[in-house]
Amino acid sequence: MRSSYEKLLATIALLSAVTDVSAQTNSTTVGSGPSAAGPTWEQTDYDSSPPVYPSPNATGQGWQAAFQQASNFVSQLTLEEKAQLVTGAPGPCVGNIGPIYRLGFDGLCLQDGPLAIREATYASVFPAGLTVAASFDRDLARTRGVDMAQEFKGKGAHVALGPVAGPLGRSGYGGRGWEGFSPDPFLTGELFAETIEGMQSAGIQACAKHYIGNEQETQRNPSVTKAGETIEAVSSNVDDRTMHELYLWPFQNAVKSGVASVMCSYNRINGSYGCQNSKTLNGLLKDELGFQGYVMSDWEATHSGYPAADAGLDMDMPGGIGFVTQLPTYFGPNITAAVNNGTLAEDRLDDMCRRIMSPYFLLQQNSASYPRVDASSSGLNFFPEANYAFNYTLGPANVDVRDDHAQAIRELGAAGTVLLKNLNNTLPLKTPSNIGIFGNDAGEPTDGLYFDGDGDLGNVGFEFGVLPSGGGSGTGRFTYVVSPLEAIKNKVNSYNPKALVQYVLNNTLVNQASGYSILAPVPPEVCIVFLKTWATEGYDRPSLLVDWNGTALVETVAKSCPNTVVVTHSGGLNVMPFADNPNVTAILAAHYPGEQVGNSLVDLLWGDVNPSGKLPYTIAYNESDYSFAPIENSTALLTTTDPNAWQSNFEERLLIDYRHFDYFDEPVQYEFGYGLSYTTFSMSNLAVTATGSGYTALPAKQAIAPGGNPALWDVLYTATVTVSNTGSVAGAAVPQLYLGLPQPVNEDYTPVKVLRGFEKITLQPGASQTVTFSLTRRDISYWDRYTQQWTIGTSAIGVMAGYSSREIWLNTTVTPLSGSSGSGSGYGSGSASMAPPGYSNKTSSAGMSMPASMSSGMSTVVSGSMIPASATVPASYMSGSSSMMASMSATTTVPAAYSATTAASPSGHGPGAPGCSDVPGPWQHAGNNNWGHGGPPTQSGWA
């Protein structure tokens, strides 16, 4: 263990690093509250986004044959056909590109969403991305991707609008976090890539969304005041290092995996709209990451014509400004006019078309055997057939594409359920003959099986029935749902047809004390309380507590039932005031498991499946513990007349979720990566080995390939540990590898630890297995905003292996720039029983040694009052889901400021569109903005 003197020196060095910030103009170096996580926040640094022009041309790298086919195809198009190819149109799918029959092109069908083909009959509804993340299982993520893609393809779709890595999950209050994976970028990046590769292996184009900084639903789109003033969408203000190490990280994985398309987001980023932000689209995505596919807009996220195209947008969706009509449009005829008058270069339009067609040919979607669009889709989507501008060739209606996917859905639903508490081995259940079921989440949904079809659901959800998914465009159209009550009845009947399964599903009735008294005899041998939390597109969550007064429900039941098991179905984290109640003997966080929800749960409750899920987020004690990353919202903002008022400052920088709690040494209820099993595991023999020598701080300069500089993906180290099953039953372990990266000078505060490896392995009792983690150059580097490079720090890197972010079993260090490797069981060369500095040990209910809060040595640096809770936003100010927009009239008035304009200046460059702060007139080019062209970057939002 390090001496107190060594720790003091380390603390002094860290304090020096974070206080000597030469780029800042203020005398202070930290903010004023729990959000403070780096140099003083200068609001003016985020007023604009650096311009990066021209838009890089795709080269087809990795797709050479398909790119040549696309080039040949585009060379035969007229100008009008090129404009048609980049512009959405009304049709039978959520998004449509019209056919060009003279060239044998039937058009493109784009369909929601990330967990199912939403607008379809006879299709499966899979577990949500959040459930996949909780499984920590790469193989199941890929299988889900393959299975979903088979269903999309069977329905004639070409593009599946998913998976999701934006929102990443900055705030637990975010309404769409469940569509994605985890607030940890490494975990999200790995599962994002597996999903994409699985989908595209089955012949469907994946669409990575929503790019980028799309971390809240509140004011995600512009609004118009009663006086007719346009209030711009919220601006996600992100510094350069945070952008690379958090929000861009999983998209870099996606590009390396060859993702076909990327959907740009509704929000602004550092003042400029996501679908016309040349820095994020041209600079980061297409130039730095080498993206070869196409960028499509989110539906109605386009705010201009040629400026958006030049900023990197390749496809406008859904096409018409009025949503359900083809005209008026920012693209279409305006693109044609812009080329004719010299405002938009035809070479840029050709690049847009080649980018769109390359994945089409790559995945052989031009094959004569490719399925036609299911004719039933036309009646399910929001475009009236009278508005169709093309005669679409459709296939048979109501094709059943579900195949045998139910079993994989059931398996993943169980794998993504996390056992949080299990006192006295309450679970697995044996053969109880008197079971009490409580809560409105236990039974069949009473409001139907489609959670985007009822506008009254809003941000409340339906009261009665299990919640297997969230709402909005990320949901699915269920053909059936296996409820927990149904599955429990079937299970109990299988071993004792005379056993009692008693139930009261009305929360209000139980909470009024009369509900529990309905049961007899009492108490049941076990009481199972089912809770839920609704989450949906268009709304952020008003609370982190469970819905429908579920906390009181647990307390009421637990007063009378000393063996109470709690199950939650939630679109994200829940604080759990009941977690320490001694009568609450077990808790399962089941997330959104899809159509097999009840069966997945029963498999766990009775031990047919051993729990192996791990938390992909942190559960703290109180809602106020999450105030470091608030949803931007206030009463003043709701009545503002300032068009630019909505500013969401990501002042927490790198310190979201467990990174925040670890850095500030804050206690939590259940930490990231945590999850119990019916068996126990140990870990030993950590060894870290360099794969080479003579490492340099900066990567070798290589030609950019999809995923960025190929040198970033070189494996520099491998780490190995031995995992052993020390219990009496078989089970799956998830060993996790964390790195403690050095604190660079003049930079954001570096997290105490970051996840850089995980594997899921199944072991029989007494068995052991060696697990290997590969560490790439990117994994051990930080983003240096001055050199604009991924850079390896000069000092030692801590390597920590364990079973959660706070259950660290083994530690060592490596110093890449000195050529050292590491091995050992303690911190440095300590013993196996030694915990790293700042840890104390506590024992979990499974008997495992579980370190408590980690001290970062920095908890005294930042102080201040907590941020007040945000005000609730009225529905009238919220951006609705795409289905809500479908009700817009075809004659919807477009604000004058957003009218599509074709009259360009004689030089070919006009002023930028509203919210497009990176399009000056005349435009600058990439070499003029000090972004990666020598010297420190200018203070323009990417400081």
Catalytically active residues are 298
Question: How large is the greatest C-alpha to C-alpha distance in the chain, in angstroms?
Answer: 86
Those residues whose C-beta lies under 8 Å from the C-beta of residue 216, and which sit 6 or more positions away, are 167, 171, 173, 174, 175, 234, 267, 540, 631, 632, 648
Measured CA distances, 367 to 100, 106, 153, 198, 362 (Å): 15, 11, 12, 20, 11
Side chain identity at 200, as an amino acid letter? Q
Extended beta strands in 592-735, E state = 647-649, 681-690, 715-725, 731-733
Q: Degrees (nearest 5) of the Cα angle 396, 398, 400?
A: 105
Q: Which residue in 185, 213, 218 sits closest to 280, CA to CA? A: 213
370-392 b/e (C-beta count within 10 Å ≥ 16 → b): bbebbbbbbebbbbeeebbbbeb
Q: Which residue in 648, 650, 668 sits closest to 658, CA to CA? A: 668
How far apart, in whole angstroms, are the C-alpha atoms of residue 215 and residue 213? Answer: 6
**Structure tokens that stand for 357 in this block:** 């067609």
Looking up tokens 């509140």 gives 218
Measured CA distances, 319 to 130, 157, 325, 462, 530 (Å): 31, 18, 8, 33, 43
Instruction: Answer yes or no: are the C-beta atoms of 757 and 814 closer than 8 Å.
Output: no
- Work out the angle between the directed axes of helices 185-201 and 249-256 (0-180°, nearest 10): 30
**Structure tokens that stand for 42 in this block:** 């200068």
3-state secondary structure of 97: strand
How far apart, in whole angstroms, are the C-alpha atoms of residue 60 and residue 710? Answer: 16
Q: Which residue in 539, 384, 385, 538 sits closest to 882, CA to CA? A: 538
Q: Which residue in 696, 581, 54, 139 sits closest to 346, CA to CA? A: 54
Q: In what order do the strands lie in the sheet with 108-112?
A: 95-97, 108-112, 159-161, 205-211, 261-264, 294-297
Side chain identity at 14, as an amino acid letter? L
Burial bucket for residue 2 (CB in 10 Å: 0-12, 13-18, 19+): middle
Measured CA distances, 623 to 172, 304, 573, 577, 786 (Å): 9, 40, 10, 10, 37
3-state secondary structure of 335: helix
Q: Which residue in 330, 245, 265 sits closest to 749, CA to CA? A: 245
Q: Give the Cβ contact number of residue 647 at 10 Å.
A: 18
**Structure tokens that stand for 570 in this block:** 């939630």
Rg of the chain taking only CA atoms, in angstroms: 27
- If phi over 0 gives left and psi between -120 and 50 gives alpha, with beta otherwise, what is residue 411? alpha
H helix or E strand, kind and range, residue 378: helix 377-380
3-state secondary structure of 191: helix
Those residues whose C-beta lies under 8 Å from the C-beta of residue 353, and which sit 6 or more positions away, are 70, 74, 77, 82, 85, 86
- The β-bridge relationship of strands 205-211 and 261-264 is parallel
Instruction: Answer yes or no: are the C-beta atoms of 294 and 255 closer than 8 Å.
Output: no
User: Facing residues of 588 across strands?
Assistant: 419, 567
